[in-house]
Amino acid sequence: MPQVANIAVSILFDGLAYAMFLFITSVGLSVTMGLMGFVNLAHGAFAMAGGYVVVTLTRSFGVEFIPSLVVASVVVGAVSVVFERWLYRRLYKSTDLEQVLLTIGLAFMAIATATYFYGPIPKSVPLPGWLQGDVNLGFRYFPSYRAFLIVLGTALIAVLWYVFERTNIGAKIRAAVDNRRMAESVGINVDRLFTLTFAIGSGLAALGGGLAIQLFGLSPSFAVLYLVLFLIVVAVGGLGSLKGTLLAALVLGVFDTAGKYLLADAGGFFVYAVTVAVLLIKPAGFYGRE
């Protein structure tokens, strides 16, 4: 294969895998922000919590990696409901500043708690044999784990798209994002809808956290380290938009990988350049409402 094509394939493949991680982790944040306008900076903490559940299950209880991922998303999704009912709902009508203070406080408490129980040293996770090494796709080899990320991400996107566009509950969510007061006046219980989407979003974040262990390693600082990236994905994609979040994750994932591959000296600069460019042209993001 010619060198240029080979490079392009490398970048697209790694960028796509990275984009899937970004999408899975950020989509919940986008929908909850779009639905309630609630600024949840503790989103990264839910992702981190998911990661630690996976580490505990695989390392201490000998559970396989894939079932651990499922358990982690369910457990974290369920626990997030407690937080939502008990803390978040008190601040729905409050200003952005109060919401930010509450949630960033939660994030820092989560970091301290994780450090207390797991220590500051990054954790790794044992993978099943079929996710290690590389896989031959006919014309060249690809890392198996990243191929798995792409497949899983694509499947999730399909499911989410179906729920969002084709089911009753999806129609209600879209209606509430578009116009909350109107949705409420036709009898949609936006409060309950929010609890549901919050739980699903946090569960997906936990899944993302579990998937990220193999990419970056998992340490307590995960809760805020990658938060900026998630917020960028949400802002570039537009609040509450599934399509937007996906597009933003793809663009940022591929650009970041391409930047590191082609111009390592400029490092992580590309993500920010793309963000600034997009927001200059479309201040509400790709699919945000102006």
Helix, strand or coil, per DSSP, at residue 142: strand
Nearest CA to 44 out of 257, 187, 232 is that of 232
User: Is residue 7 within the footprint of another protein (CB under 8 A)?
Assistant: yes
Decide: is 214 part of the binding site for another protein (CB under 8 A).
yes
Binding footprint of another protein, residue count (CB under 8 A): 36
- Cα separation, 214 vs 254, in Å, equals 19
**Helix, strand or coil, per DSSP, at residue 144:** helix
Calpha distance 175→190 (Å, rounded): 10
Q: Shortest Cβ distance from residue 111 to another protein (Å)? A: 10
For residues 197 and 214, which CB has a smaller minimum distance to another protein in the complex?
214
Distances (CA, A) of 49 to 111, 154, 202, 225: 10, 24, 10, 14
Q: Which is nearer to another protein, 144 or 195 (CB)?
A: 144
Positions in 122-151 near another protein (CB under 8 A): 122, 124, 132-134, 141, 143-146
Cβ-in-10-Å burial (0-12, 13-18, 19+) of 256 comes to buried
End-to-end CA distance of the chain: 45
Q: How far is the CB of 127 from another protein (least distance, A)?
A: 10
Q: Which is nearer to another protein, 182 or 262 (by Cβ)?
A: 262
119 binds another protein (CB under 8 A): yes
Q: In the set 225, 279, 282, 284, which binds another protein (CB under 8 A)?
A: 225
| Cβ atoms within 10 Å, residue 2 | 7
- The footprint of another protein on residues 146-175 (CB under 8 A) is 146
The residue among 170, 229, 239, 238 whose CA lies nearest residue 200 is 170
Both structure tokens of 284: 């509400």
Nearer to another protein, 74 or 131 (CB): 131
In the region spanning residues 250 to 289, those forming contacts with another protein, defined by CB under 8 A, are 257, 260-262, 264-265, 267-268
CB of 141 to another protein, least distance (A): 5
What residues line the site for another protein (CB under 8 A)?
A: 3, 6-7, 10-11, 14, 18, 115, 119-122, 124, 132-134, 141, 143-146, 214-217, 219, 221, 225, 257, 260-262, 264-265, 267-268
